């Protein structure tokens, strides 16, 4: 099972909004709403931002939102802050293995 496809890097300026895509197939992202997103700062553990496509855990800023269309899930970060600079990973259940699979990660730079 291949990893989910994410852009290697995205960038934005403080105050702007950016969107990170996560493309899978009809046997993972397209067929299940078990998509989650994680933020990882250098030398830190990942932290969950979004679960079940568009739900935010308690304590996660409203600036982070998730969505899905077909085989592609998206994470949008609004009002970019310097502290948002990190690597972001998507994750989805995949029934062909079955297992969960992760994207390769997207490095967000806040200019």
Partner 1 sequence: EEQLVESGGGLAQPGGSLRLSCEGSGFTFSRFWMAWVRQVPGKGLERVANIKHDGSERYYMDSVKGRFTISRDNAKSSVSLQMNSLRVEDTAVYYCTRASRPIFGVVTQFDFWGQGTLVTVST
Q: Pull the structure tokens for residue 48.
A: 């969950």
Q: Single out the residue of 45, 77, 44, 72 nearest to residue 60, CA to CA.
A: 77
Q: Single out the residue of 46, 39, 35, 33 nearest to residue 4, CA to CA.
A: 35
Residue choice 5, 46, 63, 72 for contact with partner 1 (CB under 8 A):
46
CB of 51 to partner 1, least distance (A): 5
Applying the rule CB under 8 A, the residues between 69 and 108 that interact with partner 1 are 89, 91-93, 97-100, 102-105
Residue choice 8, 42, 44, 82 for contact with partner 1 (CB under 8 A):
44
């Amino acid at each position: 099972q291949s990893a989910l496809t994410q852009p290697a890097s995205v960038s934005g300026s403080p105050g702007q909004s950016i969107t990170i895509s996560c493309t899978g197939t009809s046997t993972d992202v397209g067929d299940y709403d078990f998509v989650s997103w994680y933020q990882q700062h250098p030398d830190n553990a990942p932290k969950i931002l979004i679960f079940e496509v568009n739900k935010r855990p308690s304590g996660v800023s409203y600036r982070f939102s998730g969505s899905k269309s077909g085989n592609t899930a998206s994470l949008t970060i609004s009002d970019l802050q310097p502290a948002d600079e990190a690597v972001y990973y998507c994750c989805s259940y995949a029934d062909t293995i079955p297992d969960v699979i992760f994207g390769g990660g997207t490095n967000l730079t806040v200019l």
